[in-house]
């Protein structure tokens, strides 16, 4: 059946766009972290919405499952086949279809990289604010399917909040054109939200209409040592008092995270002396007539905070090169961790007011259970979202430690749940947290999710084994 099926796909998209040789298929079958790998029947590279729809119809007719894939930078194994599926890569669908500067909107195909969309917005003198370290490879389809967050959620919202409309190939191969560019549309259920954050389990996003914003003309950036996470949260409150919506990013980096960057990333340098335990990267952005004001506002707020003991030390960027160097320290943490070796990752969210309590209690509980644990904590503290990762420092002890993933997860996730938080703030569930989430969502919520899946993908061919557990219809309550 394989050869016939490959030929059939070849008739739809061209034989050279159906990858079957093991070496060609392999890069699509392992995730960015190298944590998940699987086998695919083949990789299909369609170039248009109609081709995607025809590929899906062929898969349905053959009873073959589909794994949508964009840049393959996801961190939960959501884009990795588990065995025998067709990986549908959207990379060739990379056209900017339209920019409407007056409407502050842009319509793009799903395979556009996030960076390409940012650049298209810039050319129209607008801002597309979604921003994350993998933006050179991650695609809009993947960003929307994981409801990506990144470093400017604080000011502009996550991928869901940036979306006006979608075009989707449904699980039966029909095309839904929901590419509306409206800020107001109360004509029934808002279907786009079903596909955003669905990790490809309900349909294939082929295009999106996204919100644009005025481009900030000026910004002020600082790298600031704070005594502890509670001080960071207080500093955020003060900055918002002083600068309101002009606070566009507020990221925390713990010392072990910074040490990994300094060790593994060429030219990385600690901007502050004294090896502070906690630092925050702050960015303020605003319109052209705020130029000097923003730097002055930031400086004044930091000086006042220092007098009150909330800030220990700070450096303000005085050039674009310095700004880029400070951002590189934050944005290279994931890369540095990858080079260092495998770790147990938690992408958690709690109310911002609970961040300090979470870190203190989780650190204490982990150190009590695993005295040699290394805790790498960093992330979008302004959104209540931390990347809170654990490992051991030498390879042998780390292997033993990784074997304890279940026990580590229990400590971290139970605490998160107890504080009213989420075990996946921005990376999704994929394969990584598909079972874990059953502990924390109610039976009712899981039933609703399964009902949506059943209604939109009754044959279960859209990215099976991701997001929803195959076993059990209900939740396992802790
Ligand atoms: P993929 O990895 O290809 O796919 C991700 C999921 O979406 C899979 O389930 C896949 O099946 C599905 N999918 C992909 N395309 C489509 C489509 N067209 N239609 C339907 N389903 C689809 N994420 C954040 O949110 N914030 C961060 O700050 C952040 N930083 C990162 C830093 C690094 C260094 C790395 C490697 C990753 C980071 N990520 C971050 C995670 C990742 O970049 C995002 O999840 C990104 O949105 C995934 O895009 P992608 O195109 O690579 O998707």
Domain boundary among 89, 118, 153: 89
Q: Is residue 29 part of a domain?
A: yes
26 phi/psi in degrees, rounded to 5? -50, -45
Q: Looking at ligand 1, which residue's alpha carbon is closest to its atom 49? A: 142
Q: How many domains does the chain have?
A: 5
Q: How far is the CA of 142 from the centre of ligand 1 (A)?
A: 4
Residue range 459-469: mean pLDDT, rounded: 96
Q: Is residue 54 part of a domain?
A: yes
pLDDT category at 476 given cuts 50, 70, 90 is: very low
Give pLDDT, residue 286: 87
pLDDT category at 189 given cuts 50, 70, 90 is: very high
How many Å apart are CA 268 and CA 185, to the nearest integer? 48
Q: How far is the CA of 143 from the centre of ligand 1 (A)?
A: 5
Q: Looking at ligand 1, which residue's alpha carbon is closest to its atom 47? A: 143
Whole-structure pTM value: 0.94
How many Å apart are CA 456 and CA 454, to the nearest integer? 6
How many Å apart are CA 312 and CA 228, to the nearest integer? 10
CATH code of the domain covering residue 36: 3.30.43.10
Q: How far is the CA of 73 from the centre of ligand 1 (A)?
A: 5
471 has pLDDT over 90 = no
What are the tens digits of pLDDT across the range 320-376?
A: 999 999 999 999 999 999 999 999 999 999 999 999 999 999 999 999 999 999 999
How many Å apart are CA 271 and CA 251, to the nearest integer? 15
Let me know the angle formed at the C-alpha of 313 by 311 and 314, rounded to the nearest 5 degrees.
100
Which ligand 1 atom minimizes the distance to the CA of 68? 11
Query: What is the span of the domain harbouring residue 266?
Result: 218-334
Domain boundary among 334, 350, 370: 334
9 has pLDDT over 60 = yes
472 has pLDDT over 90 = no
What are the tens digits of pLDDT across the range 391-447?
A: 998 878 888 999 999 999 999 999 999 999 999 999 999 999 999 999 999 999 999
Residue range 271-284: mean pLDDT, rounded: 96
Residue range 42-56: mean pLDDT, rounded: 98
Which position has the token pair 């947290």? 433
Domain boundary among 89, 123, 157: 89
What are the tens digits of pLDDT across the range 62-92?
A: 999 999 999 999 999 999 999 999 999 999 9
Q: Is residue 468 part of a domain?
A: no
Q: How far is the CA of 420 from the centre of ligand 1 (A)?
A: 25
| Burial readout 397-436 (b: 16 or more C-beta within 10 A, e: otherwise) | ebeebbeeeeebbbbbbbbbbebebbbbbbbbbbbbbbeb
What are the tens digits of pLDDT across the range 107-143?
A: 999 999 999 999 999 999 999 999 999 999 999 999 9
Give pLDDT, residue 291: 59
475 has pLDDT over 60 = no
Question: Residues near ligand 1 with C-beta < 6 Å?
Answer: 32, 67-75, 78-79, 90, 110, 132-134, 138-139, 141-143, 145-146, 148-150, 199-200, 204-205, 334-335, 426-427, 430, 463, 466
Which position has the token pair 């839904």? 176
For residues 381 and 326, membership in a common domain is answered with: no
Ramachandran sector of residue 113 (left: φ over 0; alpha: ψ -120 to 50; beta: rest): beta
Which of 33, 142, 426 is the pocket-test mutation for ligand 1 (most atoms within 8 Å of CB)?
A: 142
Which position has the token pair 């060790």? 263
478 has pLDDT over 70 = no
CATH code of the domain covering residue 304: 3.30.70.2190
């Amino acid at each position: 059946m394989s050869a016939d099926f490959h030929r059939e796909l070849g008739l739809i998209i061209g034989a050279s766009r159906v990858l079957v040789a093991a070496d060609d298929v392999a890069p699509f079958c392992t995730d960015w972290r190298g944590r998940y790998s699987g086998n695919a029947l083949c990789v299909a590279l369609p170039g248009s919405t109609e081709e995607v729809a025809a590929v899906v119809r062929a898969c349905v007719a053959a009873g073959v499952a589909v794994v949508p894939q964009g840049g393959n930078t996801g961190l939960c194994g959501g884009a990795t086949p588990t065995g025998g599926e067709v990986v549908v890569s959207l990379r060739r669908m990379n056209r900017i279809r339209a920019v409407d500067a007056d409407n502050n909107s842009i319509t793009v195909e799903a395979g556009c990289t996030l960076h390409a969309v940012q650049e298209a917005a810039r050319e129209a003198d607008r801002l597309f604010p979604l921003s994350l370290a993998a933006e050179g490879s991650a695609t809009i389809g993947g960003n929307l399917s994981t409801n990506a967050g990144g470093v400017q959620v604080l000011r502009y919202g996550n991928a869901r909040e940036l979306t006006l409309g979608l075009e989707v190939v449904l699980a039966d191969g029909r095309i839904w054109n929901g590419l509306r560019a409206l800020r107001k549309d109360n004509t029934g259920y808002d279907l786009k939200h079903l596909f955003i954050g669905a990790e490809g389990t309900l349909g294939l996003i082929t295009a999106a209409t996204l919100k644009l914003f005025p481009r900030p003309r000026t910004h002020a950036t600082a790298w600031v040592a704070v005594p502890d996470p509670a001080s960071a949260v207080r500093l955020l409150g003060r900055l918002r008092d002083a600068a309101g919506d002009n606070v566009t990013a507020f990221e925390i980096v713990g010392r072990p995270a910074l040490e990994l960057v300094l060790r593994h990333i060429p030219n990385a340098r600690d901007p502050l002396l004294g090896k502070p335990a906690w630092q925050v990267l702050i960015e303020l952005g605003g319109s052209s007539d705020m130029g000097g004001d923003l730097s002055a506002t930031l400086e004044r707020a930091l000086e006042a905070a220092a007098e009150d003991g909330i800030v220990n030390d700070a450096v303000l960027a005085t050039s674009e090169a310095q700004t880029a160097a400070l951002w590189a320290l934050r944005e290279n943490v994931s890369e540095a961790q990858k080079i260092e070796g495998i770790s147990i990752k938690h992408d958690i969210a709690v109310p911002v007011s609970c961040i300090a309590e979470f870190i203190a209690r989780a650190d204490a509980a982990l150190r009590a259970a695993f005295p040699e644990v290394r805790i790498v904590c960093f992330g979008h503290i302004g959104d209540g979202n931390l990347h809170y990762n654990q490992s051991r420092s030498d390879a042998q002890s780390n292997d033993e430690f990784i074997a304890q993933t279940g026990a580590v997860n229990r400590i971290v996730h139970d605490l998160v749940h107890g504080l009213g938080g989420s075990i996946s703030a921005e990376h999704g569930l994929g394969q990584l947290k598909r079972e874990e989430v059953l502990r924390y969502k109610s039976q009712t919520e899981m039933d609703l999710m399964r009902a949506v899946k059943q209604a939109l993908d009754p044959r279960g061919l859209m990215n099976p084994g991701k997001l929803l557990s195959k076993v059990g219809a209900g939740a396992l309550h802790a």
